[in-house]
Amino acid sequence: MAQTGHRDVIVLGAGIAGLNALSVATDVLGPAGRALLVERRPQPGGMWNDTYDYVRLHQPHGFFTAGNIPWTQGHPREHLATRAEVLAHMAYCLEVCRSRSQVETRFGWEYVAHAEHDELVEVTLRAPDGSLDTVTCDRLVKAFGYDVQAKPPFEVSSGAVRSISPNDHGMKTGAIARDQAPVWIIGGGKSGMDAALALLEEQPGRDVRMLVGGGTAFLSRDVWFPTGARRWVATRPNQQGIAYTLHFDGSNEEEVQQWLLRGSGLSPVDHPRDFLLGLMSRAEADTLRTGVAEFVKDYLVDVVDGPDGPLLQLRSGAQRPVPAGTWLVNCTGYLAREEIPYEPFVSASGRVVSINPRSALTHLTTFASYFLTHALMRGLLPLPDLYEVDMVAGTKEAKAAGGVLALTATLYNISVFFDALPMSVFLNNRLDFDGWLPPARVAAGSLRFMATHHRVRARHRAALDAFGARGIRSGPLSPDRA
């Protein structure tokens, strides 16, 4: 095992969470700082290297960045960036970090293990050739986030249907787009809606049906990010988030979801049960409602050959006949994967942080990585008032709670960070959704936050405690970090 020196900080993962950590670390360290970025893929970009080719951001592109690094591609503010545009921006973010500090990158390398000794963290890495290397550092950021992985096709018993993954078959360019056979999209989240919209755009009138589980609610992009003169009068995104979360008492998520759908939410599916804070425009929802032949609230178990052709076997016990040659597109479960292990967001020493959904601080890994790395680099961890939430278990056990639980934790923890971190951390944060609005409105919102966040934090803490009483991890870290 080789040993190759010491770094001020090591960041594991070059997705959006890892690049936020690296951006913060290099900004704090300055030109003399030494950072190491490790990524198992051949280039920065994380999941965006692997995802389906027709994917687009669902929020305006400017909020998808590393720390305070602006986009330079010249798009309109409301532009929803494509996969290629996102990858180009993430590569640019890495170059900006290189200009701030001494940044070494190891692409194609994998994390093996780490151990804390005295004042150092020892990190073991595996090279592409299988050899091991040990590197020490003062601070370690495990920025694996949701560790999103490409979905394989469903394995089904029938050979009369064509089961595919969206990552391997473009809805606009692949074999499915050159065919007229019916399509069943399995999954009602953002990936499923992306697939349906891509197919309907390429082939209006195509027989597209969706198996959507409980149905998914989305935030209305038109309400949360209005354009034109409405930017001066619409409710601020942060204000909407606070109003939404203050309706949550830790147990009433279904009632809160109905409140959301009456105001700033929408869904192409009637009476949706699930919610994970995705965004959709009214135009997209209308396209789906009119273009998708059927939304079925159920789950796929298998496809078998019946006497008259293939049959979809559903969890409810129902069976649905489909024509031979039907396409099945697996768009299920990209985020809340149950096999992600629990790891506390910070070790007892405060030298190792982990960005993961089992010990989540915020609804987006960008926010968690940005604020947590600022606290890490300033030696402020652990902050005892921070709350973690097991978002995987939370969304599994209480489907409608996913969105409001995540946003409640976000607003609570940002309030804690606000008391601990310098004001410059917040002023330089390009991730703040209120930045969509004119500067005067942003300033007014900031003053309101400073005046009210302690009172609001107490309400959020009570809701998180009540949710934790339901047997799902939601509260402060235990002293032993178990």
Q: Which of 478, 472, 477, 476 is nearest to 253 (CA)?
A: 472
Note whether 342 and 200 are within 8 A (CB). no
Encoded amino acid at 49, one letter: N
CATH tag, 2-148+337-476: 3.50.50.60
Provide the pLDDT for residue 362: 93
CATH tag, 162-215+267-330: 3.50.50.60
Provide the pLDDT for residue 198: 92
Q: Which of 20, 122, 4, 13 is nearest to 361 (CA)?
A: 20
Distances (CA, A) of 339 to 63, 147, 449, 473: 29, 10, 37, 16
Provide the pLDDT for residue 42: 95
Provide the pLDDT for residue 406: 92
Q: How far, in Å, CA of 104 to CA of 286, rounded?
A: 48
Q: Which of 298, 329, 292 is nearest to 156 (CA)?
A: 329
6-43 per-position pLDDT tens digit: 999 999 999 999 999 999 999 999 999 999 999 999 99
pLDDT of the chain, 482 residues: tens digit per residue: 555 789 999 999 999 999 999 999 999 999 999 999 999 999 999 989 988 888 889 999 999 999 999 999 999 999 999 999 999 999 999 999 999 999 999 999 999 999 999 889 999 999 999 999 999 999 999 999 887 777 789 999 999 999 998 887 778 888 898 889 999 999 999 999 999 999 999 899 999 999 999 999 999 999 999 999 999 999 999 999 999 999 999 999 999 989 999 999 999 999 998 887 889 999 999 999 999 999 999 999 999 999 999 999 999 999 999 999 999 999 987 655 567 889 999 999 999 999 999 999 998 899 999 999 999 999 999 999 999 999 988 888 777 888 899 999 999 999 999 999 999 999 999 899 999 999 999 999 999 999 999 999 999 999 999 999 999 999 999 766 54
Q: Which of 348, 371, 350, 343 is nearest to 140 (CA)?
A: 350
Provide the pLDDT for residue 469: 95
| Residue 326 burial by Cβ neighbours in a 10 Å radius (0-12, 13-18, 19+) | buried
Write out the residue limits of the CATH 3.50.50.60 domain(s) in the chain: 2-148+337-476, 162-215+267-330
Encoded amino acid at 307, one letter: P
For the whole model, what pTM was predicted? 0.93
